[in-house]
Amino acid sequence: MPDSRKPATVAVHAGRPERSPDQPLNVPISMASTYGAGGDLEYGRYGNPTWSAFEDALGALEGGRCLSFGSGMGAVTTVLDLVGQDGLVVAPKHSYTGTLLQLADLEMRGRIRTKLVDITETAAVAAACDDAALVWFESPTNPALEVADVAAIIAAAHEAGARVVVDNTFATPVLQRPLEQGADIVLHSATKYIAGHSDALMGAIVTADDDLYAVLKGRRDLLGTTPGTLEAYLALRGLRTLHLRVERAQANATELVRRLEGHPALSEVRYPGFGGIVSIVLAGGAHPADLLPQHLRTWLHATSLGGVESTYERRRRWNAEPDTIPAGLVRLSVGIEDVDDLWDDLVQALDAV
């Protein structure tokens, strides 16, 4: 049943237990590997009331039915499992490294074929869709922060008979709802903004297609890519404040970008104009970027993103990061702290390196 209320209200209210006297307002953490026989669940791998509450809430925010997973990569693996033998997958050359590694591995083992594209070249992406089984993309891309023409690529993929998956981890349903633009599946690393506190690994997919939902549920049951119950609880608790956190992170990011423009230590500041992720490129390359941890006091040096705390890392410290990403590119995940404290810390570190 579509929820006609505004996203902030849905985030707060979706996925709560029935209202009745003495019922807790929040879903309990149901630790269960099995259930009394004869019901809908039967066994812990097939479902859990705490997962369902999280799934109801994220499904309502994205506009479809949600399945939760043990991690974003669990969701990625389950979706890629739908691609038939030798099927073609089109994806951006700048994508999450785990997704790129998974695609490369499946291709090397002769399971699928892949075509990596520049997601900003809409006509070339459309041409690449010909013969594709699956068109997969992120927008903005990680960590290049390129923005795709989402509606045009979805239309081209459908024209070619391909299914479309949008990894909406960076934008979140607060800023972008790809199902409304025609995507077949939205995927999340809920580890990031949705859970939002750097304390839980969790993944999710959402689809408005009931048949596709049933197929994906069947794959999750058999692959065992299911989430933990405590993680589902934490992700739902995080989701309750998603809209506030994303708005604050975006406001902080916008202000930092404004102040960083023209800083002599930087050769580039990349910001897609929305969201809380900013990529800065240090003019001196990898060396000054690697000195930042010696100077930053508030910003935390760590991979991952989307937490309440501001974090950063030089992406090319990972061997799997494509060499089209500048060696001195540092991805900033802007948190919800006071923007002046973030600025003071960042600018003294950039001046020092």
Ligand X SMILES: *Cc1c(COP(=O)(O)O)cnc(C)c1O
Size of the site for ligand X (CB under 6 A): 16
Catalytic-residue membership of 210: no
Which one of 142, 250, 279, 310 is in contact with ligand X (CB under 6 A)?
142
Euclidean distance between CA atoms 95 and 165, whole angstroms: 13
Which one of 55, 56, 62, 138 is in contact with ligand X (CB under 6 A)?
138
Least separation in angstroms between CB 161 and ligand X: 25
Which one of 58, 67, 73, 332 is in contact with ligand X (CB under 6 A)?
73
Catalytic-residue membership of 167: yes
Which is nearer to ligand X, 154 or 339 (by Cβ)? 154
Euclidean distance between CA atoms 278 and 260, whole angstroms: 11
Residues contacting residue 19 through CB under 8 Å, at least 6 positions apart: none
Euclidean distance between CA atoms 106 and 282, whole angstroms: 35
Residue 71 as a binder of ligand X (CB under 6 A): the answer is yes
Catalytic-residue membership of 81: no
H runs (alpha helix) in 162-228 = 172-175, 210-223
């006609």: which residue's tokens?
A: 4
Which is nearer to ligand X, 139 or 252 (by Cβ)? 139
CB 303 within 8 A of CB 198: no
Bridge partners of 332, per DSSP, are 278, 312
Strand ranges of the sheet holding 277-282, from the earlier edge strand across to the other edge: 266-270, 277-282, 329-333, 311-314, 300-301
Q: Which stretch binds ligand X (CB under 6 A): 48-56, 163-171, 230-238, 338-346?
A: 163-171
Of 45, 217, 219, 240, the active-site residue reads 45
Q: Tally DSSP H helices, then E strands, for the chain.
A: 12, 12
| Sign of CA pseudo-dihedral 338, 344, 349, 351 | positive
Of 65, 115, 163, 192, the active-site residue reads 192
CB 184 within 8 A of CB 65: no
- Contact mark string toward ligand X, 77..116, x via CB under 6 A: -------------------x-xx-----------------
Residue 169 as a binder of ligand X (CB under 6 A): the answer is yes
Q: Which stretch binds ligand X (CB under 6 A): 123-131, 167-175, 252-260, 312-320?
A: 167-175
Residue 226 as a binder of ligand X (CB under 6 A): the answer is no
What residues are labeled active site? 45, 96, 167, 192
Please report, as ranges, the residues that interact with ligand X according to CB under 6 A.
Answer: 71-73, 96, 98-99, 138, 142, 167, 169-170, 189, 191-192, 201, 203
